[in-house]
Structure formats: structure tokens, C-alpha cells
Amino acid sequence: MPTRTYIAKKEKAASCHKASKERLSLLLGANAAGDFKLKPLVCLAENPRAIKGIWNGLLPVIWKSNKKALVTLSVFEDWFTNHFVPEVKDYCASRGLPFKVLLVLDSAPCHPANLNDFHPNVKVVYLPPSTTSLLQPMGQGVIASFKAYYLRRTFTMAFRATEKDKELTLNDFWKSYNVLAAVKNISDSWDEVKQTNLNAVWKKLCPQFVNDFHGFEDSVEVVIKNVVELSKQLDLEVEAEDVIELLASHGEELSAEDLTQLKQQFIEEEDTPTPEPRRFTSKELAGAFAMIEDVNNADYTFKCMV
């Protein structure tokens, strides 16, 4: 909830209620055409009460866990081998495409340096750290849209619940909002992201892949306006600036303590050191993407994923 709302202030003061402090990590990905989305990867504490008795395979996301709810090397390797490769292979088969893929990643510490050795049909390119924010397709509007859709869905749920049960307070709703509801909202919000938007965000990195684009459908500004309107129906004093602040807070950097613990997890996971991921220069990146310029070449077609 936005920090100016009564529920957020009460939550901050009540040590017994820590729902808003629960952390989860989320990995999203899609191909350059925008017609294939990877199933979201969610990392949180193992089997919270809300999903006890529910087989993870029935969840609309890939569920992984560790103490700090972070994507670690082992989590990423498992995701790559047991989820990414099979999902993309099935997609290529369904489209009659050769199974040859270029996976574009940022230079996060959870991304193994030797991913290029994991599968002969998947080539991995790591974006240089200094250019990730400028070039990473997911960072060009997809993640911002997803977070806005998620927030709108949460406020819509709150409004409908309190309208249906007049005795239910917003604070009661928020206390009942659990991990299972969050997972469902994550899946539905990811479904909301349009194919045209997923394709358009490749404009800076590979403009030749982008079809005619006239702006994001259902822009973040429109969604923020929707959230403000829903807030007023919930008798909350919320302005657009409050919603923007809340959305920004979901992308805050990890604290020094979090980073220290994450680093320790990486050390514990690895018996032997691995080399640093190769940092590609702009020239090398151009060469890598040259391999997929001729998308009509049936002998060597890549489906670009990020």
C-alpha cells in the first residue's frame, strides 16, 4: 500500500503484522517476437501456509525457495535446465522452428558464467554492466507495465472484496492477502502484457526485429490513473505520486546486509570458483546478433529470448 495510506501507517507501527515486508524475487522473460512468454519464476520461503497441500506443479508460476527468497546460482541453473530449455524447445517445435536460441542476460551474480556449456542449442550473451539499463529489453517498459498491472489487480481485488462484504475492512483484506493470491496476481498480470509491447522493447537492441509500434497499449500512466480511482472508491487518500513511489519501491536495490548474505549463499553453493561471465563489447554484441538477422534461414534460425 502507498505509504500515505492509513493501512500502510498502521502496518508500519504494528510489529505483529509483517505482510508488507515479505520479499519475493521474480524472473520474467519472453522472445523478441513477443508471442512466447516464459512461465514466471518466483522465489520465496518454502511452502508458506497459504500453499501447503498444493503441488507446486499446479501453480501458475515456477516456485523455488531459499531463506532470503533470492534467485541464486543453483536456482538459476535448475530453472535454465529444467524449465527454460524444455519450454523453448516445445515452443520451437510448435512453430516448426529449429531449436536454436540466443538468450540475452544481464550480468547479475546469479547468472552462471558457464551457461554456454549447458546446452549446445542455446547460446548465451551477457550484456555489459554499464549498458544493461539502457539495452535490457525487459527494462524498457515491460517490467514497469507488469508492476503497474499487478498493483491495479491488487486494488481491484480489494475493492471487489469490500464491496461484496460490507463488514470487511481494507485492513482485514490486506491481512488476508497471502502468497497464493500474490502468485495468482503475478500470473494474471504477466498475461496482461501484450505481444506488441514485448516486441517493441527490442527497439534499442535489435530494431530490425520490431514491427510497427505506435506506443504501449494500456500505458503505465493509464494504469496509475486507474489505481488512483480505485483508491478513492476505497476511501484512501492516494495521488498519482503515491502510486509512482510505491511502484518504484518494488525495484529498490538490495541492502548491504542482503547483498552480504546473498554473496555468502553463492560461496556456499560453489565448491570451486567459476570464471567471470564474459562481458561483450558493443562490437561483439553486434556480431552475436548478426547470427539472427536472417530469420528466414531455416538452417540457422534463432529465437531471441530475454
Domain ranges of the chain: 20-305
pLDDT tens across 145-195, in order?
999 999 999 999 999 999 999 999 999 999 999 888 999 999 999 999 999
Residue 143 has pLDDT above 80, yes or no: yes
Q: Using a CB cutoff of 8 Å and minimum separation of 24, what contacts does 268-276 make? A: 269/72, 269/73, 269/74, 270/73, 274/112, 274/113, 274/114, 275/113, 275/114, 276/113
- In this structure, are strands 41-44 and 25-27 parallel, antiparallel, or unpaired? antiparallel
| Start-to-end Cα distance in the chain | 30
What element of type H or E holds 101?
strand 101-105
Q: Give 29 or 283, the one with higher predicted confidence.
A: 29
Residue 60 burial class via C-beta count within 10 angstroms: exposed 0-12, middle 13-18, buried 19 and up: middle
Rounded distance, CA 100 to CA 301, Å? 6
The number of angstroms, rounded, from the C-alpha of 35 to the middle of its chain's C-alpha atoms is 17
Q: Give 287 or 84, the one with higher predicted confidence.
A: 84
pLDDT tens across 184-201, in order?
999 999 999 999 989 988
Rounded distance, CA 30 to CA 101, Å? 12
Q: What confidence category does residue 270 fall into, taking pLDDT thresholds of 50, 70 and 90?
A: very low
- φ, ψ of residue 270 to 5 degrees: the values are -110, 125
Rounded distance, CA 26 to CA 62, Å? 10
Q: Find out whether 188 and 154 touch, Cβ atoms under 8 Å.
A: no
User: Which of 9-13, 84-88, 232-236 bottoms out in mean pLDDT, i.e. has the lowest?
Assistant: 9-13
Rounded distance, CA 205 to CA 184, Å? 32
Q: What confidence category does residue 32 fall into, taking pLDDT thresholds of 50, 70 and 90?
A: very high
Round the average pLDDT of the chain to a whole number and report it. 78
Cα–Cα distances (Å) from 189 to 62, 84, 94, 205, in that order, read 15, 20, 25, 25
Match 542449442 to its residue by C-alpha cell: 121
Rounded distance, CA 85 to CA 77, Å? 11
User: pTM for the complete prediction?
Assistant: 0.76
Residue 152 burial class via C-beta count within 10 angstroms: exposed 0-12, middle 13-18, buried 19 and up: buried
What string of DSSP letters covers 183-237?
A: HHHHHHHHHHS-HHHHHHTTTTT-GGG-----S-SS-HHHHHHHHHHHHHHTT--
